[in-house]
Amino acid sequence: MHSDVAISVNHLAKTYRIFGHPGDRIKQAFTLGRIRFHREFTALKDVSFDIKKGETVGIIGRNGSGKSTLLQLICGILNPSAGSVKINGRISALLELGAGFNPEFTGRENVYFQGAVMGLKRTEIDERFDQIAAFADIGEFIDQPVRIYSSGMFVRLAFAVAVNVDPDVLIVDEALAVGDMEFQERSITRMRSLQSTGTTILLVTHSMPAVRNFCQRAIWLDSGKVIQSGDAPTVCAAYQAHTNQDVRRKNQSREDSHALLEGNQDGQRSGRNKIIAIAKAAVENERLEVGGSLVLRFSLQFPGSAAAPAEFGLGVLIHNDQGKLIAIFNTVRDNIFLSETVQDIKLCLPSIGFMPGHYWVSANVCDRDAMFAYDEFERCSFFEVVEEFSLKGIPRWEGEVACAHTWLW
C-alpha cells in the first residue's frame, strides 16, 4: 500500500447466507454443511479502488447497490467473503443512526466510549469534550440516556464525535439528511474544514448536487459492482442518464401495456379511420443544450375518401421522462388554422428553457375548436437536453425551469 493512499480496496466481495426459516440454521449445522438449507446473496462482487489521502469521494447508486455493505467492510464492522481492505490512519465513521452508541449510556458516557473505541486517551477526550458538546448543541440532554433522544439529537451527537476526534479518514453514510438545516450547514462547514486540513472523506448520499459540489471523485455502484469511477461531475451525469433511461423504459412499458389493454397494437396510434393523419414526425436536432433552438417537423396525409375539413389545427405535447407534461402548443390557440394545402409544418422553439433530461413528443390533429382529434400520434419523436457544468462541478441549470439571466451590481 503506497504511503499516499488512505483506503485501498482489492477484489472485495461479500456474500450473505439467507435462511428461509430460523430452524434451517440448526439443520445446516447438524449436517456439517453437506446439505444446504440456505441461498446465497452476493452484496459486493470483486470491488477494487484506491482513495488517496486528502481526497473526498462520493459513493453513489440506487438502494440495494451495495453502498452500505462497502462502508461496513471498510470500517471493519463486517468481514469480507473475499478480497481485502487496507486503511492508512485513524478512521471515524457515521453510518446508520446510532450505530456504536449504547442506548443505556448518557450522551456524555457515549462520547467517552466512542473516543476510547477510536484509540483516544481519556485526557484527549477531556480536551475535546466541550468542543463536542458545543457542536452537538443538545443542552442538558448530554447527561440523559441516548435511548430518549430524537433522531435529530442522535445524529447531532454522533456527528459531533465523528468530526472532532481528528480523523485521518471520515466516512459519512447519508446521516446528515436527518439533521435540520442549521445543523446541516454547520456540518458541511466542518467537513470543508477537514477537507482543507487533508482529511480523507468518503460520502454516501443520494444527492447528486452534494456529490458534484463537495467531492472530487465519485464511484458508482450497481448490483454490488463498480460501474464507473472518475471525476464527480462525469460519473454523476452518467448515473443520472442511466436512471432517467430506466424511468423512461418503465414509462414506455407502462404505456405499451395500457395500449394493449385498450386494443391498440402499436401503443402509439389511434385505430379509427382517419380523414387526416400524421404520417411522420421528426426532431431536427435530437441533442441540444439548455437555451438551444428546437425544431419539430410534422408531415400530414389525407387518406380518407371523405373530404378534409376546411380548417383544422395541429397540437404538440412535450413530456419529460417521468411522464410529466412540460409544454403544449396548438395552432388553434395561436389563431392559426390549417387546410388541406398544408402537408408539412414545423414548430420552431428558438430558445428552450427545458431542464437537462430526456423528452418525448406527442402530436394530434384537431378540429378548428380543438374539441376532438382526427388523429393522435403518441411518442412520435424524442430529444435530449444535455447538462453543462462549470469548473466547480455545479450544474449550469438546476430546478424546474431554466431561465436566461444576468447578474448586476
Span 291-310, pLDDT tens digits: 899 999 999 998 766 678 88
Most confident of 146-160, 191-205, 261-275, 365-379: 191-205
Provide the pLDDT confidence category of residue 262 given band limits of 50, 70 and 90. Answer: very low
Angle between helices 151-163 and 107-117 (to 10 degrees): 40
Residue 7 confidence (pLDDT) above 60: yes
Return the number of other C-beta atoms located less than 10 Å from residue 49's C-beta.
16
Residue 87: φ, ψ to 5°: -120, 135
Do domains 5-242 and 268-386 share one topology? The answer is no
Say what the pLDDT of residue 233 is: 87
Closest to 114 (Cα-Cα) out of 162, 166, 174, 73:
162
pTM: 0.67
Q: pLDDT band for 270, please (50, 70, 90 cuts).
A: low
Task: Report percent pLDDT > 90 for the chain.
Answer: 39
Higher-confidence position of 382 and 95: 382
Residue 151: closest CA among 215, 187, 98, 201: 98
Please tell me the predicted confidence (pLDDT) of residue 360: 92
Model confidence band, residue 392 (pLDDT cutoffs 50, 70, 90): low
Q: State residue 254's pLDDT score.
A: 55
**Protein fold of 268-386:** Coagulation Factor XIII; Chain A, domain 1 (2.70.50)
> Comparing 17-21, 37-41, 133-137, 386-390, which segment has the lowest mean pLDDT?
386-390
Q: Span 5-242: which CATH code? A: 3.40.50.300
User: Does the pLDDT value for residue 267 go beyond 60?
Assistant: no
Please say if the pLDDT value at position 349 is more than 60. Answer: yes
How does residue 87 score in pLDDT terms, banded at 50, 70 and 90?
very high
Percent of the chain with pLDDT over 70: 86
Greater model confidence, 249 or 5:
5
Mean pLDDT score of the chain: 84
Residue boundaries of the structural domains of the chain: 5-242, 268-386
- Label residue 260 by pLDDT band (50, 70, 90): very low
C-alpha cell at 94: 457515521
Residues in the chain: 409
Distance of CA 287 to CAs 236, 242, 249, 294, 383, Å?
Answer: 19, 16, 19, 9, 6
C-alpha cell at 215: 467531492
Average pLDDT in the 175-188 region? 69
Confidence of residue 271 (pLDDT cuts 50, 70, 90): very low
- Among 86-100, 105-119, 223-237, 292-306, the range scoring the smallest mean pLDDT is 86-100
Number of H helices, E strands in the chain: 8, 17
Q: 302: which 3 cell numbers?
A: 389525407
